[in-house]
Amino acid sequence: MKIVTSRVNLSTRGAGDLINITEELLRILDHSALKNGTMTVFVSGSTAGITSFEYEPGLIRDLHEFYEKLVPSGTHYHHDDTWGDANGFSHVRATLTGPSFVIPFENGRLLLGTWQQVVLAEFDNRPRERDVVVQLMGE
């Protein structure tokens, strides 16, 4: 078994930025020369997440509305009392989404569904530089 680690560096616009990183992941897999195994995609930081969905304008809008209903940005969060950075909602949204996503691959292809893309979800209330760690394990 071989382990290959790579990184994708991204600049985000802040809360609500959803960035499709699927093409980058495909390039990383192709350059690894691995054929079968798993790919773990992990974002460093506590105010962003990695998820998967059909990346199209309607669903992007639906997700923005969903997060705002579930974890409103205009609500008081105790985290804000601690640091005064008014991004408590960002931490809660990131916790619900999770920092990583695992994708199996076979014959050098990610086993994603036809309409399934892998997406970095930025929740922080300001633009950020994000480091996405991509680790492949396989043969």
For the chain, helix, strand, coil in percent to 5 are: 30, 35, 35
Number of domains composing the chain? 1
DSSP 58: H
pLDDT in tens, 76-126: 999 999 988 899 999 999 999 999 999 999 999 999 999 999 999 999 999
What is the model's pLDDT at position 40?
A: 98
User: Would you say 45 and 120 are in contact if contact means Cβ atoms under 8 Å apart?
Assistant: no
Task: Supply the pLDDT for residue 34.
Answer: 98
Domain that holds residue 111: 2-138
91 is written with which tokens?
A: 């931490």
List pLDDT tens digits, range 31-70. Answer: 999 999 999 999 999 999 999 999 999 999 999 999 999 9
pLDDT in tens, 4-42: 999 999 999 999 999 999 999 999 999 999 999 999 999
What is the domain-level CATH number for residue 39? Answer: 2.60.120.460
User: What is the side-by-side strand order in the sheet with 48-53?
Assistant: 18-20, 117-122, 48-53
